[in-house]
Amino acid sequence: MQPREKSHSHPGMTLKEKEKYIENFRFPFCDDSVKYEKVAKIGQGTFGEVFKAKEKTNPKKLVAMKKVLMENEKEGFPITALREIRILQRLKHENVVMLIEICHKRACQQNKCLSTFYLVFEFCEHDLAGLLSNVNVKFNLGEIKKVMQQLLNGLYYIHSNKILHRDMKAANVLITKNGVLKLADFGLARAFSANKNGQPNRFTNRVVTLWYRPPELLLGERNYGPPVDLWGAGCIMAEMWTRSPIMQGNTEQQQLTLISQLCGSITPAVWPGVEHLELYKQMDLPQQQKRKVKDRLKPYLKDAYACDLLDKLLVLDPSKRADADTALNHDFFWTDPMPCDLGKMLAQHSQSMFEFLAPPRRSRPHHTMANQRPTTSAIQDGGYQDRVF
Amino acid sequence: MPCWYYDKKELRNTPSSLDNIDYETEMRYRKEGARFIMDTAFKMDLGCNTKATGAVYFHRFYMFHSFRQFPRYVTACCCLFLAGKVEETPKKCRDIINTARGLLSDAKFSTFGEDPKEEVMTLERILLQTIKFDLQVEHPYRYLLRYAKCLVGDESKLEKMVQMAWTFVNDSLCTTLSLQWEPEIIAVALLYLAGKLSQFEVVDWVGRTNKHLRWWDMFVEDVTLDLLEDICHQVLDLYSQPVAEAPPDSPPLSPKLLLAAPSSSKTNGQEKEKVETPKIKPPATTVAPTLPEIPSYPYPPAFSTTSHAGTYLPQYANPTVAPPHIAAPPPGPPPPHMPAPPAVLYPPYVGPPPHYPPVVPPAPFYQPTPAAPPHRPFYPPPN
Ligand SMILES: Nc1ncnc2c1ncn2[C@@H]1O[C@H](COP(=O)(O)OP(=O)(O)OP(=O)(O)O)[C@@H](O)[C@H]1O
Ligand SMILES: [Mg+2]
């Protein structure tokens, strides 16, 4: 074939020329990623790697860079990344991770002219999964309350902005060294609207890591809403004491069984309408199970208010599950010991703790990557661990 | 976030104009590109927000790049491709290209090169960086419906007016209005225009107070009649551009056009001119085909004073007649629908309109509602 004949009248560029053009064009709004220097890899997600990095001109400024995987995308820039960007641009809250910018790495020989994009976030020193897997990190009751209060505040904010997170789990909850909690990973998030005109939503129910997936999703509900995130919040809350995920199913069926064993049988009596869900008849739902949320978790939680709040979060029927507002008003947060700052406790630990770097807490949910974990539970990068504060 | 609004001078000083494409030609390219986005979107059953978002990306893109470097139809496809993903109505790149192929002549389609899909994919990366990943775009449609709901009057007349305004909003995507004014203001202006043309005089509206001289004062601040008329004329001008005179189909290469200096930019004085001598050309025989293609676009959600915006009433789904003003534009003298502004009410129009008239009530929905964490007052624990 001849090189593409330039059409008689259109002097547009060839692909090659275009690549060159991008290389030389200074986009006024999209910075080059060379302004950051990678320090360490801190995460490996479904969509790409996450690095800790520092700004070259201002090495005190730490960021987390999440690479947008483009290699095997048939449909260009991934829609999941577009969603995450769009949603984070519109959410600004102390308890939601801040997206600083999107950077671009110029095309070069190595990546075969494929330019790479990075989402650049404010850096948080820990994620909750990393903290919980470290036995030396001990939360007292006031500190647990603070974690949960911030988590619910974040949920309250995103839900009132009509966003569902859809991937609540400890690894997606970040905590700064000062003890500020940030919801992260909006890769599965989406906007929802209160369905007007009686038109039900048709969302995908293949969201949320299995262990944190609420019963309505497991039963095929597509018209779901904020309660899906509150189920996850309940699972995380219990984990603050148990230190590992409370229901670790290997299959959707097994997850439903575990849920029934903890929360009681899934029946139309406790959850009117459940019989109409798509998978209700297909799944094997254990009968005659008593609800044992309080009984089984009391040995861990001890505190009666904590048990009661958890009991209101881990409710089978999503319409009866506590919402973020109700949960925040629960006595748990308004009785002694009151929520108390995490800064002091975290100051005893000078190393970053991330799930990616931690030894496995137990088996992993089947669709998360099985990673070989380093023996250390911290980044040995000479950065965070040297700091005294 | 970057500022996406430009004044008229900036709109005449674009990369294309620096690249020796004269202003009229650039406007035509913009119009054709945007129209093509709408046609492709319509063929693919994409909704009004997707096509509008695509068109806005398109106009923004050419504030940074020249039409000579980036042929408009490829860019248009790319903008629609991205808009589809952003608006949660994704279409396969291949399907968009195939639809485009069906709508374009072979000569035009040749700008897609040997590997059209790769062409669009490469361009997507340029597009994303150019628009700074500022993906969320607001459009006049929702404001149109919201404002119309407040107007009081004969229901059927109101409905007609809203539908007409909806069509104008569609067509406004072919202009650079989205680069000049916020969607709220465009909505007010085109509702105003539709009111004039459908002889619906708004005399009362819900929420009226003494402070409001005009119905739109309730929604936008400091919007003068002059400004509204300027916006209306930018849309009306679309219908008065004769097709027959359209120059050939490419960036200008002819010596004549190459010599043309970046067009002598008229300053803002021109709006004044325009308002004084509104010129809707009488329908030359060649004009008719470019008139708004009303039947080919999905109609607005029917308007009613009580129902929620967004409900589609079937009876308006298949418009058969073009609104009267389009079938027969007023011949001859300045049309009656553009009265001179009442002399006393407004100070004479001086200089360019304020660039960013503060928009009063409705905060754009992408602005998060301020965080108001629920708080329960502390009370002592039960004993
Ligand atoms: N801003 C940040 N500061 C510190 N660490 C971060 C930050 N963002 C992400 N991480 C770390 O990287 C990990 C993966 O990030 P994230 O969850 O956003 O990616 P992902 O690819 O969507 O992962 P997955 O979908 O598998 O949950 C997080 O669990 C966390 O440990
Ligand atoms: Mg994650």
**Cα dihedral: B88, B94, B99, B103 (round 10):** 120
CA distance A29 to chain B (A): 5
Measured between beta carbons, the chain B residues lying within 8 angstroms of A331 are: 381-382
CATH topology of domain B8-137+242-275: Cyclin A; domain 1 (1.10.472)
| Structure confidence at residue B242 (pLDDT) | 63
Percent of chain B with pLDDT over 70: 63
Is residue A35 a contact partner of residue B279, using CB atoms and an 8 Å limit?
Answer: no
Torsions phi, psi for A44 (to 5 deg): -135, 105
Q: Is there a contact between A30 and B114 if contact means CB atoms under 8 Å apart?
A: no
Q: Is there a contact between B111 and A29 if contact means CB atoms under 8 Å apart?
A: no
Quick one: which of B174, B229, B237 has its CA closest to B353? B229
Query: What average pLDDT score do residues B180-199 get?
Result: 94
**Is A60 annotated as ligand-binding?**
no
Ligand nearest to the Cα of A84, by number: 1
Partner residue opposite B376 with nearest CB, options A94, A191, A334 = A334
| Structure confidence at residue B287 (pLDDT) | 30
| Structure confidence at residue A123 (pLDDT) | 97
Q: Is residue A337 reached through a cis peptide bond, with omega within 30 degrees of 0 on the bond before it?
A: yes
Is residue B248 a contact partner of residue A9, using CB atoms and an 8 Å limit?
Answer: yes
User: Nearest residue CA, atom 13 of ligand 1?
Assistant: A43
User: Nearest residue CA, atom 31 of ligand 1?
Assistant: A354
User: Does the beta carbon of B64 lie under 8 angstroms from any beta carbon of chain A?
Assistant: yes
Q: Is there a contact between B85 and A82 if contact means CB atoms under 8 Å apart?
A: yes
Partner residue opposite B308 with nearest CB, options A30, A76, A196 = A196
User: How far apart (Å, rounded) are the C-alpha atoms in residues B159 and A123?
Assistant: 53
Domain boundaries, chain B: 8-137+242-275, 140-241+298-327
Q: Is residue B300 scored above 90 in pLDDT?
A: no
| Structure confidence at residue A108 (pLDDT) | 62
Q: Express each pLDDT in A115-154 by its tens digit.
A: 789 999 999 999 999 999 999 999 999 999 999 999 999 9
Q: Angle between the B48-61 and B23-43 helix axes, to the nearest 10 degrees?
A: 150
Query: What average pLDDT score do residues B361-373 get?
Result: 38
User: Does the beta carbon of B3 lie under 8 angstroms from any beta carbon of chain A?
Assistant: no
- Select from A50, A85, A352 the residue to mutate for testing ligand 1; criterion: most ligand atoms less than 8 Å from CB: A50
- Select from A36, A41, A42, A85 the residue to mutate for testing ligand 1; criterion: most ligand atoms less than 8 Å from CB: A42
Q: Is there a contact between A15 and B123 if contact means CB atoms under 8 Å apart?
A: no
CATH topology of domain B140-241+298-327: Cyclin A; domain 1 (1.10.472)
User: How far apart (Å, rounded) are the C-alpha atoms in residues B104 and B110?
Assistant: 9
Partner residue opposite A11 with nearest CB, options B68, B85, B375 = B68
Domains B8-137+242-275 and B140-241+298-327 equal at CATH topology level:
yes
Q: Is there a contact between A79 and B64 if contact means CB atoms under 8 Å apart?
A: no
Residue of B nearest to A5 (CA): B113
CA distance A381 to chain B (A): 32
Quick one: which of A156, A186, A159, A193 has its CA closest to A172? A186
Q: What is the DSSP letter of B315?
A: G
| Structure confidence at residue A385 (pLDDT) | 34
Quick one: which of A13, A11, A37, A10 has its CA closest to A23? A13
Higher pLDDT: B244 or B329? It is B244
Residues in contact with ligand 1 by the CB-under-6-Å rule are A 42-43, 45-48, 50, 64, 66, 97, 121-124, 127, 171-172, 174, 184-185, 187, 354-356
Q: Express each pLDDT in B130-142 by its tens digit.
A: 999 999 999 999 9
CA distance A387 to chain B (A): 33
Q: Express each pLDDT in B337-353 by its tens digit.
A: 333 333 333 332 333 33
Write down the mean pLDDT value for chain B.
Answer: 72
CA distance B302 to chain A (A): 14
Please tell me the distance between residue B65's alpha carbon and the centre of ligand 1 in angstroms: 35
Q: Is residue B321 scored above 50 in pLDDT?
A: no
- Select from A69, A185, A210 the residue to mutate for testing ligand 1; criterion: most ligand atoms less than 8 Å from CB: A185
User: How far apart (Å, rounded) are the C-alpha atoms in residues A69 and A118?
Assistant: 9
Q: In a 10 Å sphere around its CB, with 0-12 CB exposed, 13-18 middle and 19+ buried, how is residue B281 labelled?
A: middle
Q: Can you give the C-alpha Rg of chain B in angstroms?
A: 22
User: Nearest residue CA, atom 26 of ligand 1?
Assistant: A45
Query: What average pLDDT score do residues B105-123 get?
Result: 93
Ligand nearest to the Cα of A365, by number: 1
Is residue A181 a contact partner of residue A148, using CB atoms and an 8 Å limit?
Answer: no
Is residue A68 a contact partner of residue A118, using CB atoms and an 8 Å limit?
Answer: yes
Higher pLDDT: A200 or B357? It is A200
Higher pLDDT: A176 or B317? It is A176
Q: Express each pLDDT in B235-268 by its tens digit.
A: 999 988 765 444 555 544 333 333 323 333 333 3
User: Does the beta carbon of B136 lie under 8 angstroms from any beta carbon of chain A?
Assistant: yes
Partner residue opposite B132 with nearest CB, options A13, A30, A334 = A30
Long-range contacts of residues A364-371, Cβ cutoff 8 Å, at least 24 apart: A365/A209, A365/A210, A365/A211, A365/A245, A365/A248, A366/A210, A366/A250, A366/A251, A367/A209, A367/A210, A368/A209, A369/A44, A369/A46, A371/A44
* Helix runs in A92-196, H state only: 128-132, 141-160
Q: Is there a contact between A10 and B120 if contact means CB atoms under 8 Å apart?
A: no
| Structure confidence at residue B2 (pLDDT) | 77
| Structure confidence at residue A107 (pLDDT) | 66
Q: Angle between the B93-103 and B72-86 helix axes, to the nearest 10 degrees?
A: 140
Q: Is residue B310 scored above 90 in pLDDT?
A: no
User: How far apart (Å, rounded) are the C-alpha atoms in residues B229 and B217?
Assistant: 16
User: How far apart (Å, rounded) are the C-alpha atoms in residues B87 and B72?
Assistant: 22
| Structure confidence at residue A357 (pLDDT) | 83
Q: What angle do CA B87, B91, B96 make, to 5 degrees?
A: 120
Q: Is residue B272 scored above 90 in pLDDT?
A: no
pTM over 0.80: no
Ligand nearest to the Cα of A66, by number: 1
Q: Is residue B24 scored above 80 in pLDDT?
A: yes
| Structure confidence at residue B366 (pLDDT) | 35
Percent of chain B with pLDDT over 90: 51
ipTM value: 0.82
- Give how far the C-alpha of residue A99 lies from the chain's centroid of Cα atoms, to the nearest Å: 14
Q: Which of A21, A26, A86, A230 to mutate against chain B (most B CBs within 10 Å)? A: A86
User: Nearest residue CA, atom 17 of ligand 1?
Assistant: A185
Q: Express each pLDDT in B30-60 by its tens digit.
A: 999 999 999 999 999 999 999 999 999 999 9
Helix (H, G, I), strand (E, B) or coil at A102: strand
Q: Is residue B373 scored above 60 in pLDDT?
A: no
Partner residue opposite B111 with nearest CB, options A7, A157, A325 = A7
Q: How far is CA A80 from CA A47, A70, B57, B128, in A?
A: 9, 11, 19, 15
Active site residues per annotation of A? 167
Q: Is residue B188 scored above 80 in pLDDT?
A: yes
User: How far apart (Å, rounded) are the C-alpha atoms in residues A35 and B233?
Assistant: 47
Query: What average pLDDT score do residues B140-156 get?
Result: 91
Atom of ligand 1 nearest to the CA of A169: 27
Neighbouring-strand partners of residue A118: A67, A103
Q: Give me the residues of chain A with pLDDT under 50, please.
A: 1-10, 363, 366-389
Measured between beta carbons, the chain A residues lying within 8 angstroms of B376 are: 328-329, 333-334
Q: Is there a contact between A117 and B128 if contact means CB atoms under 8 Å apart?
A: yes
| Structure confidence at residue A199 (pLDDT) | 78
CA distance A217 to chain B (A): 21
Quick one: which of B81, B40, B74, B45 has its CA closest to A79? B81
